[in-house]
Chain A
Amino acid sequence: MSERKQIYLDNAATTAVWPEVVEAMLPYFTEQYGNPSSLYFFGQNAKNAISDARARIAKHLNATTQDIYFTACGTESDNWALKATADAYQSKGRHIITSAIEHHAIVHSTEWLAQQGYEITYLPVDADGLIDPATLEAAIRPDTILVSIICANNEIGTLQPIRELAAIAHAHGVLFHTDAVQAVAHLPIDVVDLDVDMLSGSAHKFHGPKGVGFLYIRKGVRTRSFLHGGAQERKRRAGTENVPGIVGMAAALDACMARFDQRVAHEVVLRDHLIDRVLAEVEHVRLNGHRTLRLPNNVNISFEFVEGESLLLSLEQQGVLASSGSACASGSLDPSHVLLAIGLPHEIAHGSLRLTLGEETTIEDIDYTVEAIKQVVEQLRKMSPLFEDFVAGRKAVHAVK
């Protein structure tokens, strides 16, 4: 116990800002701090930096430059895509289709829209977390105005057939938005090829700074301004631009895409090694999410008879930082809606662990983590009355509360 070990396996929560990204941002705090809306050269330098960043980000997504709008986070992008679009198209209808496994930024926005008189259909997913495109086809109605489907799930990592889903929506003249917050920089994203109308992204999920995101809005989509004020972002999103943040987001995406192939290949090898070892070496476990159609860096495993928060805190004591879908870890009473949507019983959903790797993760980190998991799970099972009953061959305990 000389040096305290720390293995960060929570890159889906947030990532480290890479040094070259910080480097790119710094001048816009202290030297080029002018307001991009000011007419003197000082402001114009900042304005040029934003234009440049917008063009670079657009290029990585194969988007037209002016279709990228900067926001303060992925949550804002999702809120904008749903609420402002719903508002703009309400004369056509008030029906929106989404899925049962969206991020809370979408779930709570649709719940709010339901309170405003919109009708929301939540498409189910199968045991791997995949949406059957036929269910989308069947759900579309004459008054459907928008379909919003998460590109890559933040908890279980499952990738949706976005191109196919968008094509179905378009065949019925319905707009398509995708929350790609976990996908940008982790999967190849081409908005023309995917043929989506709107796409949300967030810088801190790909080694950029927190507090900056973007929404791609294809030209021709009628959406309302989400923040009212100045003329920034072509009058669609008012507010003085987060210049260092925007510059940082572009620098981060540049860095991610420059070594995309080797980074993703590295993560996939480690991901599969982690999954294979845990499934082979720990009993009574279940991989959540699709085995291959999943984010390169996502592992989500349920450990029967143990509870997620205890698992997390025990792993933290061993220096492994991860995340869980258990209720206790989130502060609510129910476990993750995503884990319930793929059909996990509550008690198994409570024992789920999400490990999300990064470029910096090594094979040694993974092997250390597997050993730590084995030890911690064994300890917690020794303490578990559910495991005691299981071993004794007794009926599982479903207490009445």
Chain B
Amino acid sequence: MGYSDKVMEHFTNPRNMGEIDNPSGVGTVGNAQCGDIMRVYLDIDDGGVVRDVKFKTFGCAAAVATSSMATELVKGKSVQDALKVTNAAVCEALDGLPPVKVHCSLLAEEAIHAALWDYAEKNNIVIEGLSKPKSDIHEDEEEGEEY
């Protein structure tokens, strides 16, 4: 597949894999039909800093590695700075992705945005620069509407 050593290293030893009980925010993005689903859990302290972050991913090695790297990049950052973690930054930190896999890094960015959106909604706050993620899924949402 032509993955960088960094991608394979994160795929083999993913950082921050798991769940957070009573998270400040959760976001799930992706589509099982396309073969990629990412879920990000955030634990944000009262000062608005990402104290902890965990992920779960169903997907290819690129999807796992970008989830892992994206969580590393947002950990310890303020909400505003976490929002600035782009797919390009995730890609670069992984020493690049094969062209057909770049869309996986988009998913990582979206998952973090979805979790931040959930956090903002729960706390009735507005995070500047964050819009409602179009691919967020909630557990109570009706399934199978528009594939």
Contacts and interface: CB of A to CB of B under 8 A. Distances in A.
Nearest to B8: A313
Contacts of A384: 56-58
Interface stretch (B12-20, B78-86, B122-130): B12-20
Contacts of B100: 331
A310 interface: yes
Interface stretch (A93-101, A130-138, A391-399): A391-399
Contacts of A333: 34
Contact of B33 (A309, A328, A347, A387): A347
B64 interface: yes
Nearest to A395: B143
A385 B37 contact: yes
B58 A306 contact: yes
Contacts of B134: 400
Given A328-B60, A350-B32, A383 B14 contact: yes
A398 B56 contact: no
* Range of interface residues on B (Cβ < 8 Å): 35 or more
B30 A327 contact: no
B61 A309 contact: yes
Contacts of A346: 32-35
B143 A398 contact: yes
Given A309-B60, A385-B56, A388-B56, A400 B35 contact: no
A378 to B, nearest CB: 13
A245 interface: no
A223 B11 CA distance: 51
Give the one of A326, A389, A397 with max B CB within 10 A.
A397
Contact of A399 (B1, B64, B135): B135
Contacts of B135: 399-401
A307 B31 contact: no
Nearest to B136: A399
A346 B61 CA distance: 18
A350 B37 CA distance: 12
B37 A399 contact: yes
Contact of A397 (B14, B17, B60, B137): B137
A400 B34 contact: no
Given A326-B35, A383-B14, A399-B32, A307 B59 contact: yes
B59 A401 contact: no
Interface string A313-336: 100010000000011110101010
Contacts of A317: 12
A150 interface: no
Given A327-B35, A386-B32, A398 B58 contact: no
B32 A397 contact: yes
A331 B14 CA distance: 23
Contacts of A399: 28-32, 37, 135, 137
A400 B37 contact: no
Give the one of B33, B56, B64, B134 with max A CB within 10 A.
B33
B88 to A, nearest CB: 21
Interface string B129-147: 0000011010100011111
Contacts, number: 110
Interface string B1-45: 100000010011010010100000000111111111111000000
Contacts of B38: 385
Interface string A174-205: 00000000000000000000000000000000
B145 A400 contact: yes
B1 A309 contact: yes
Contacts of B146: 400
A305 interface: yes
A333 to B, nearest CB: 6
Nearest to B144: A398
Contacts of B147: 398, 400
Contacts of A335: 35
Contact of B19 (A329, A388, A400): A388
Nearest to A324: B60
B34 A307 contact: no
Contacts of A350: 32, 35
Given A308-B35, A384-B58, 8 more contacts: A310-B64, A328-B59, A386-B58, A395-B139, A400-B31, A400-B135, A400-B146, A401-B33
25 contacts: A307-B36, A309-B1, A310-B59, A310-B64, A313-B61, A326-B60, A328-B36, A346-B32, A350-B35, A384-B57, A385-B28, A385-B39, A385-B57, A386-B32, A386-B58, A396-B32, A397-B32, A397-B37, A397-B137, A399-B37, A399-B135, A399-B137, A400-B137, A400-B146, A401-B30
Interface of B: 1, 8, 11-12, 14, 17, 19, 28-39, 56-64, 100-101, 134-135, 137, 139, 143-147
| Top 9 closest pairs, chain A to chain B, by CB | A328-B60, A347-B32, A309-B60, A346-B33, A385-B39, A401-B31, A350-B35, A385-B56, A399-B137
